[in-house]
A and B are shown apart, each in its own frame.
Chain A
């Protein structure tokens, strides 16, 4: 069989492009809400940790460690196949959203926390002595300095986690990969997989380049 016939077959491509495009929307909207919810939750957790309550902090650390040590696929399988047994019936989209949000939140919490601890003690003391409260100091003085430092690793991590939306195809989320494998088995042709790979590159390459730019920019600022 001819190579281009198997991987870039025009008939197959035009027939299955609409279903892969519908997968692009699913991947896109899941990625957007996961990044927003995961980053926000991570930021909130890091702020709570800054309050320095022992038991609360211990819980946050254990949570973040577990989420960072477990493979996302394992968490997805546990949630998707385990929860119905205890009466929780979530759609595969919801399971994927919640699991990936919890994972991103764990990494984001660690990144924000590293940022917060990197801000010198003098900043806290100076801000508090001018009459700002704890929350005000955190929001107006510490976070603006700490978050900036965490921006490059956070971008990289957000890309890594949103790429994991492809794991949703294992539990039936109709994302790009799922649409492509279905189309591939119907058509008996590999072109839908080529199209899927290109769709992912189109979605994620801009952010990979953004992360690269952020890294050079921040490296330049450090010196």
Chain B
């Protein structure tokens, strides 16, 4: 029991590594601020393309979404970070992570938006157009607000996944929180810094996870 406390919950080590982790948390926050809006915007483009009327737009959009849902995010990240230099494109870790996650997340967000858009009845569009709104206006003011409200829980839940995913950036040595915690771990030969990082994630994400569960039950009942 004492051994477990020493190895996983060593307060001395946690205290010593806390400033490093907070430095990392700043990078994690910056990553989230870059990656979530990019994914939401990319997802919107993917969703509009995959609900387009022309099959020449729709099919490539489906292929894009399904391809990037089949490739693990870490594989994509390493392909971008370690593969692209062979084509003469050398990206710094932050840009590489942003690009890889843009590709991955826009596929996931895109599927969610598409489900939301499909759930808005065609009568809404017809009514809006007949009042004289243009197609882009109809989309912006009538269809999208309802679509987003339809799938809000899924959007939030996917955003939690995106925040968790930023931890992969440590693999390409971007000094976000998990990278810092792992550095501290390798210096101290003790897992407590990573447990502390887990604690930070819990504090940040647990309330959201709880909210998602409560909301899910409300729909079910």
Binding site for B on A (CB under 8 A): 1, 3, 6-7, 65-66, 68-75, 77-78, 81-82, 85-87, 110, 114-115, 117-118, 159-160, 163-167, 169-170, 176-177, 181, 184, 189-190, 193-194, 196-197, 200-201, 203-205, 208-209, 212, 215
Contacts and interface: CB of A to CB of B under 8 A. Distances in A.
B114 to A, nearest CB: 11
Interface residues of B, number: 55
Give the secondary structure class of A's interface. helix
A85 to B, nearest CB: 4
A86 B63 CA distance: 47
Contacts of A110: 213, 216
Contacts of B201: 69-71, 74
B78 A75 contact: no
A211 B181 CA distance: 36
Interface in B195-221: 195, 197-198, 201-202, 205-206, 208-210, 213, 216-217, 220-221
B69 interface: yes
Interface of B: 3-4, 6-8, 66-67, 69-76, 78-79, 82-83, 86-88, 115, 160-161, 164-168, 170-171, 178, 181-182, 185, 189-191, 194-195, 197-198, 201-202, 205-206, 208-210, 213, 216-217, 220-221
Contacts of B6: 85
A99 to B, nearest CB: 12
B189 to A, nearest CB: 8
Contacts of A70: 164, 198, 201-202, 205
B3 A177 contact: no
B170 A85 contact: no
B67 A201 contact: yes
